[in-house]
């Protein structure tokens, strides 16, 4: 039996999220480091006004994810694998010690700024629930051929898929999806068209920026966003971090792989709950918990219990 730490991406943020981190010395240290690295009070970026910016959202998720993972490890509750959703991959890379926290902060800031500046108005993301992947792909391809800027973005589950592109065109696809039986079709709190080819330039620029950064071999195996493969080398993880912003997130395949590798406990880092809900729905054989729904010491207990069962 193994344990995987899951790091949530954009959409999990909420006002006050950094102020609600559990009282733990590591959490305080992490926020102090972030303040020093970015020359801005880390606790100033989780207000409602600040979170209207993609930059603040992505940095807040990085801080929260790193603080959560560090706190668990400090208490002796280590993962066997790490996986992040979208910007959550950077927190996963820090916890796996592939990337320093300082470098992750600087790269995420660049990533978010480039994303935000590329598409300031009229673009975003939406989620469609209740339509199989192949059917939705056909609908997206048909819309694209008709001049609609809309793309498959995140494959979160067999029947839960996000799309990205121009808001007007996303809404058009929603109408078609509902006609074809979608149970849900709504916009997400994301102001950029992430994980599609509209962000190819951001991916290219990020790749160049990463060439100046030191990447180390991972302490814990990392599951990729772009191809849902287990990565054990610094170069492979660097490539996933750079390419992920312009390619669909293969999340369902990633968590399925972890299950096949023997993971029996998913622990979602703060502030998320979405990845936990997805796992409970799609992989009920794996126990899934979110740090936001229980006490830190209870999470540590569950992880260590898995360890004891594994050793036995």
The pLDDT tens digits of the residues spanning 201-245 come to: 999 999 999 999 999 999 999 999 999 999 999 999 999 999 999
Mean pLDDT in residue range 93-108: 98
Strand 287-290 versus strand 263-268 pairing type = parallel
Token readout for 117 is 């500046």
Per-residue model confidence (pLDDT) at position 277 = 96
Mean pLDDT in residue range 167-176: 98
pLDDT tens for 173-203 read 999 999 999 999 999 988 899 999 999 999 9
Position 1 confidence tier, pLDDT thresholds 50, 70, 90: low
Per-residue model confidence (pLDDT) at position 62 = 98
Per-residue model confidence (pLDDT) at position 54 = 94
Contacts of 141 (CB under 8 A, 6+ apart): none
Position 311 confidence tier, pLDDT thresholds 50, 70, 90: low
Tell me which residues are annotated as active site. 86, 195
pLDDT tens for 121-163 read 999 999 999 999 999 999 999 999 999 999 999 999 999 999 9
pLDDT tens for 35-74 read 999 999 999 999 999 999 999 999 999 999 999 999 999 9
299 near 267, Cβ under 8 Å? yes
Mean pLDDT in residue range 300-307: 88
Per-residue model confidence (pLDDT) at position 120 = 76
What would you report as the CA-atom Rg of the chain, rounded to the nearest whole angstrom? 19
Whole-model pTM above 0.85? yes
Per-residue model confidence (pLDDT) at position 232 = 96
Nearest in space to 220 (alpha carbons), one of 207, 206, 237? 237
Per-residue model confidence (pLDDT) at position 312 = 54
Contacts of 67 (CB under 8 A, 6+ apart): 21, 24, 26, 27, 30, 31, 270
């Amino acid at each position: 039996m193994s344990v995987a730490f899951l790091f949530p991406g954009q959409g999990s943020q909420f006002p006050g999220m950094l102020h609600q981190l559990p009282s733990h010395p590591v959490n305080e240290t992490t926020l102090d480091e972030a303040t020093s690295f970015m020359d801005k009070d880390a606790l100033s970026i989780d207000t409602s006004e600040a979170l209207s910016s993609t930059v603040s959202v992505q940095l807040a998720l990085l801080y929260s994810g790193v603080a959560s993972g560090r706190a668990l490890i400090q208490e002796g509750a280590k993962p066997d694998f790490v996986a992040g959703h979208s910007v959550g991959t950077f927190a996963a890379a820090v916890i796996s010690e592939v990337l320093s926290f300082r470098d992750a902060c600087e790269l995420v800031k660049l990533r978010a700024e480039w994303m935000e500046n590329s598409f300031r108005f009229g673009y975003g993301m939406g989620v469609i629930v209740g339509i199989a992947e192949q059917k939705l792909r056909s609908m997206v391809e048909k819309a694209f051929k008709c001049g609609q800027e809309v793309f498959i973005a995140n494959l979160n589950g067999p029947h839960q898929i996000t799309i990205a592109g121009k808001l007007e065109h996303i809404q058009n696809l929603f109408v078609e999806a509902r006609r074809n039986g979608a149970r849900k079709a709504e916009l997400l709190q994301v102001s950029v068209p992430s994980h599609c080819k509209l962000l190819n330039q951001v991916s290219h620029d990020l790749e160049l920026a990463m060439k100046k950064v030191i990447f180390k071999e991972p302490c814990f195996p990392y599951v990729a966003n772009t191809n849902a493969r287990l990565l054990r080398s610094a170069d492979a993880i660097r490539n996933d971090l750079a390419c992920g912003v312009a390619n669909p997130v293969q999340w369902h395949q990633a968590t399925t792989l972890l299950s096949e590798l023997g993971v029996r406990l998913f622990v979602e880092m703060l502030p998320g709950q979405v990845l936990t809900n997805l796992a409970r729905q799609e992989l009920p054989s794996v126990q899934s918990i979110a740090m936001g729904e229980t006490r830190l010491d209870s999470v540590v207990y569950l992880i260590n219990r898995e360890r004891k069962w594994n050793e036995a």
